[in-house]
Amino acid sequence: MRSISLLAGVAFAALASVTAAQTLPAPPASTAFTLSSGTPRTPEQLAVRFDVADLAIRVLPETESIDAVATLTFTATAPLERIVVELDNRFDVSAIAVDGQAVGSDRWSNPEGRLTLTLPAPLAAGQTTAIRIAYSGQPHRARNAPWDGGFVWRRTPDGKPWVATAVQGEGCDLFWPCIDHPQGEPGRVDLHITVPSDLAAPSNGRLVGKTENAPDADGQATTTWHWSARDPNTYAIALTVGPYQEIAAPYESRFGNTIPMYFWHLPVADATKPQALFDQFAPMLDFYEATVGPFPFGDEKMGVVETPFLGMEHQTINAYGNGYKLDGKGYDWLLQHELAHEWFGNQLTNVSWDDMWLHEGLGSYMQPLYARWLNGDRYMQTELAEMRQSLTNRFPLVSGGEQDAGTVYEGATGPGLDLYYKGALVAHSLRMLIGDEAFQRAVTRLVYGRPDPRPGNFSPRYATTRDFIAIVSEEAKRDMRWFFDAYVYQAALPVLTTARTGDRMTLAWSGAAAFPMPVTVEVDGERRQVPMTGGRGEIRLEPGSHILIDPDNAVLRQLDYIDAWKASQARN
């Protein structure tokens, strides 16, 4: 099969010859705009459907650079005079063409990394155009991937190039021209990744084919790997290059389809380690399919690749860098967490970064649920207790306004790690309140947009916290806005106060207006559920009774002993 399109091939050859003849100058630093992700889309971006991104990228490890041609196909949904995409302006853009016709540099500009192209002729609604952008240079280097992301250029112990990308916080524009917003997903991405022939380039989607290229002017043989992915999350498009070995096997889904599983790993002296990790793939898939629904990309693959950083949820090619560590959980937590994002992030994508807890919180809750699936309640409760100790509660999980990735993930400006752990604990309290069946139905409907997902009857979708509230209310058969108002839209946790007088104990919620969360009270081993109508409740007691509030830790609330411990940690 063709490794790159005809237009891309011509431009690619020209770019390669230029690179061979001269040393690339030091690129400018990436702008603050480029190093953020999820800023509001322009009117032009709102007026297009992004159909296809065809990306031909040659990775040049020796110069830590790329040569690339991107052909982007858009359909106008309203009259349109300009195409606007994001692309780091540290790249040298050597040529732009519209529908095969070259355009002059006076028709486009890219001052801050938002490339604006004036079309030769306006598009009417329904018309399609293909924009070809040839660019090259040294991409932004990650300082501490995946948290401070970009390209990671490393060498394996035997000196082979080992390259990977991680751009969740910074966005897709660090290496390809895109609409850098959660709702900027193209309908399909075709990747033609050219690398030295002694290296492999596993990537997103399904492998269409590999092409062995003639040696270049320097005598280097290269191979082009052609991958095709449908409906990919923008930051989940990934490049990974290295001397990989491959493990593969089919997974027979409980939904009747067969899913190919792949693990690309570096050569290692103890071959049992990568095989032992691969052996975890099928049980994890079975858990997620039983708990949420069908693996969303079963027609492509469930793929994992070893990377020189910890990990990232790259669609169908999750990055893994946990080093096969054992921690007593009975499973690899990193593998399990990143796999969660195939459902919470790639199948379900939040409408904006402000709803990121739907990805991270619900995804993180799958970890204690999996601990229970494997080893029982003790292990679930252990993980939930560790999460509870980490909460900061400085910012609400959802602000209600437009936010970018940096603001949300940074604990000084947004919820930070609370996205993960508070989000998981909110999900746990919700499950305890409405029951397993209603919770599972609500999560399935959120992820798939329907209650009966089967392979072939759903597509990736967008959703918001408000959508989830509506679904939960329907499944619980009562208005659940009060729950989310208390836990998601405000930072402080609800506070439960108790007072005991004679044979009565009164309970009252403060910190949340008329919070009606019922509370289980254990009295001398006997459990009683206390309704909290209007935020208040009461029970009768025998003198000297031993009382335990919320014995199952089902309700997320403020706890004095944890606050005291955290204060002591801060002092030390």
Within its chain, how far is the Cα of 430 from the centroid?
A: 23
Domain boundaries, the chain: 6-241, 246-487, 495-555
pLDDT at residue number 513:
61
pLDDT tens, residue by residue, 321-380: 999 999 999 999 999 999 999 999 999 999 999 999 999 999 999 999 999 999 999 999
> How much of the chain exceeds pLDDT 70, in percent?
95
Q: Give the pLDDT confidence of 270-279 residue by residue, as tens digits.
A: 999 999 999 9
Cα(126)–Cα(143) distance, integer angstroms: 43
Percent residues over pLDDT 90 in the chain: 91
Convert the pLDDT of each residue in 15-55 to its tens digit. 333 333 344 556 789 999 999 999 999 999 999 999 999 99
What is the tens place of the pLDDT at every residue in 91-144?
999 999 999 999 999 999 999 999 999 999 999 999 999 999 999 999 999 999
Count other Cβ atoms within 10 Å, centred on residue 88: 30
For residue 61, how many other CB atoms are within 10 A of its CB? 18
Domain 495-555, classified CATH 2.60.40, yes or no? yes
- Report H helices in 376-417: 377-390, 405-409
Extract the tokens encoding 46.
């709102």
Closest by Cα among 286, 262, 167, 152 to 207: 262
Please give the CATH topology (third level) of the domain spanning 246-487.
Answer: Neutral Protease; domain 2 (1.10.390)
61-85 average pLDDT score = 98
Neighbours of 450 (CB within 10 A): 13
Confirm whether 6-241 and 246-487 share one CATH topology: no
Q: Does pLDDT of 13 surpass 50?
A: no
Supply the mean pLDDT for the chain. 93
φ, ψ of residue 215 to 5 degrees: the values are -55, 145
Q: Over the stretch 414-442, which tens digit does the pLDDT of each residue have? A: 999 999 999 999 999 999 999 999 999 99
Angle between helix 465-476 and helix 418-434 axes, rounded to 10 deg? 20
Q: For position 20, what pLDDT does the model report?
A: 35
Mean pLDDT, to the nearest integer, of 479-498? 96
Whether residue 565 has pLDDT greater than 80: yes
Superfamily for the 6-241 domain:
tricorn interacting facor f3 domain (2.60.40.1730)
- Considering only residues 422 and 215, tell me which one the structure prediction assigns the higher pLDDT: 422
What pLDDT score was predicted for residue 151? 98
Q: How confident is the model at residue 512 (pLDDT cuts 50, 70, 90)?
A: low
At residue 51, φ and ψ (nearest 5 deg) are: -85, -55
Q: What DSSP state is assigned to residue 482? A: H
* pLDDT tens figures, 365-421: 999 999 999 999 999 999 999 999 999 999 999 999 988 999 999 999 999 999 999
- Cα→Cα distances 111→70, 162, 175, Å: 19, 32, 16
Q: Identify the CA nearest to 355 among candidates 271, 435, 452, 466.
A: 466
pLDDT of residue 8: 34
**Cβ atoms of residues 174 and 86 within 8 Å:** no
What is the side-by-side strand order in the sheet with 161-166? 150-155, 161-166, 240-241
Q: 489: pLDDT confidence band, cut at 50, 70 and 90?
A: very high
Q: At 353, is the secondary structure helix, strand, or coil?
A: helix
Contact (Cβ atoms closer than 8 angstroms) between residue 456 and residue 394? no
